[in-house]
Chains A and B, each alone.
Chain A
């Protein structure tokens, strides 16, 4: 099976190790961020606290959620784009795609094996990141109930309270949901990658375009454009952290993301199938 080869190559590439290191570093920086923010807010009166806006409700679950929210939108898509770039354009620039195409396997099998391995790796990265965030939150801050209030992070527009058990259950739901969302930048990077002969160009272009779309989706000025950008729906899994989950809204946004993923997958496969290897 080509999946074994892809998995072995991925493992030997050390990309997972670097990704793990980057995620841990991100969590450490988040901790420092919360600490320094609290110090600034309390004008140095707090010796050490991970409070964000109100110490009474901030705990390890809140930390994990905020860290995951930021990491998911800004860090994990870069890993996904890197994976997409490495899988097609990387093989092209290294010449190894010719080696694979000289075997009696269809382009469809090659392409979808690569995509499946990259998607599985991305889902694993999401799970590891979530587990790390929860672990760091538990060890450094300690868990409790998950209380969310309207604030700058726009995590909610009305106060929400979930018991620790319920909150952990919601985190468990957020993993597959976020993994599905991450398939969109992954498929998008495959598409860019299928047009490029250089892995660096493919990754750079995919990351740059993702960030542009992310910014446009966040800026009020571009409200008309938002529905057409997949980045507008990327954080749809936040809906799981409401007391009463609006399943219809979460499902609709999830379906849109699946649609985007299928569209980019179809476009990238078409390009991969028709392209020539000069």
Chain B
């Protein structure tokens, strides 16, 4: 079996009576990008903090590079790097001072990041021009990028980013995606990133884990989330009357936002639909089968989880 930098089984974490995580399994393979998705308060940060050794699990087990994070945090950090949100930095220090001093905080035997690597990290996150400004003058987005830069010194094998796109403008989000892809392709870096915005991770990740109220409700490639969500859409010159006709036939029909009638996949074929509408005095103008968007599929899953 391939070595997995992150393996967590049955993770549970309670804060008093509240259960922040409930039986969550997670694995991140070498060179893999995994997205941790869920609404605010779903347990994403709690899970990441357990992996970083900042919190103990109430039950279950987490291993990062084979080490138990809380007991062996320093060993974990030799190969993994975490960047939590919101970005916490020293306002009185410059970006370069941050990187110089944080890079010095390393275990014995680890390579020391020199000036060239620091410059490269600053360049990678687009802070080279402002490297000698104090952080107190930085915007939220710039702080976010500096936290990412420190996580690259020295280059880890796993990088874990908590809400990395928070506070970034759309262009910076695009650049960040590019940087992360490059890191994976050129350095074989495994990446675990959390976000409450699905669209931000969709284009980047190989797999994702969706959390809702502390429980995992989906795990797999994003495309799999949409599996089984195909719906038949029927366009007609009178959508309201068409809806009535389908319902009179006993079909589970509804109107979507584009004035098309939506039906379960396989509920009716083109010929039958055309005949049914013609008999009711309505002309069929379109008929196609379409899968739900990733966002719709996620919302449906979240609603299902909420209903449970």
Which residues on A are within 8 Å of B, measured CB to CB?
1-2, 4-5, 8-9, 12-13, 94-96, 98-107, 276-278
In the complex formed, the residue of B with least CB distance to A91 is: B88
Contacts of B105 in A (CB 8 A): 2, 5, 100, 103-105
Report whether over half of chain A's contact residues are helix, strand or loop; otherwise say mixed: helix
Given contacts A4-B104, A8-B101, contact A102 B89 (CB under 8 A): no
> Is B155 part of the binding interface, using a Cβ–Cβ cutoff of 8 Å?
no
Cβ A277 vs Cβ B101 within 8 A: no
In the complex formed, the residue of B with least CB distance to A103 is: B105
Given contacts A102-B82, A276-B55, contact A95 B106 (CB under 8 A): no
From B88, B92, B101, contact of A4 by CB (8 A): B101
Give Cα distance in the complex from A107 to B150, angstroms.
Answer: 19
Cβ A276 vs Cβ B54 within 8 A: yes
> Is B120 part of the binding interface, using a Cβ–Cβ cutoff of 8 Å?
no
Cβ B54 vs Cβ A101 within 8 A: yes
8 A-B pairs with least C-beta separation: A95-B88, A12-B92, A5-B101, A104-B77, A103-B105, A277-B54, A104-B107, A104-B78
In the complex formed, the residue of A with least CB distance to B75 is: A104
Cβ B106 vs Cβ A277 within 8 A: no
Cβ B54 vs Cβ A105 within 8 A: no
**Per-residue interface assignment for chain B, residues 71 to 93, with 1 indicating a CB less than 8 Å from any chain A CB and 0 otherwise:** 00111011001111010111011
Give Cα distance in the complex from A2 to B52, angstroms.
Answer: 20
Cβ B92 vs Cβ A98 within 8 A: no
Cβ B83 vs Cβ A105 within 8 A: no
Q: Identify which of A5, A8, A106, A107 gathers the most chain B CB atoms within 10 Å of its CB.
A: A5
Residue count of chain B within 8 Å CB distance of chain A? 33
In the complex formed, the residue of B with least CB distance to A110 is: B105
Nearest-neighbour CB distance to chain B for A96, whole angstroms, equals: 5
A102-B52, A102-B81, A104-B78 provided; 9 other pairs, C-beta below 8 A? A8-B101, A95-B86, A98-B54, A102-B82, A103-B105, A105-B105, A107-B73, A276-B56, A277-B55
> Is B147 part of the binding interface, using a Cβ–Cβ cutoff of 8 Å?
yes
Give Cα distance in the complex from A98 to B86, angstroms.
Answer: 11
Given contacts A2-B104, A8-B101, A278-B55, contact A101 B73 (CB under 8 A): yes
Contacts of A107 in B (CB 8 A): 73-74
Cβ A102 vs Cβ B83 within 8 A: yes
Contacts of B84 in A (CB 8 A): 95, 98-99, 102
Given contacts A4-B101, A104-B77, A276-B55, contact A99 B106 (CB under 8 A): no
Cβ B55 vs Cβ A99 within 8 A: no
In the complex formed, the residue of B with least CB distance to A106 is: B74
Contacts of B83 in A (CB 8 A): 102
> Is B283 part of the binding interface, using a Cβ–Cβ cutoff of 8 Å?
no
Cβ A96 vs Cβ B102 within 8 A: no
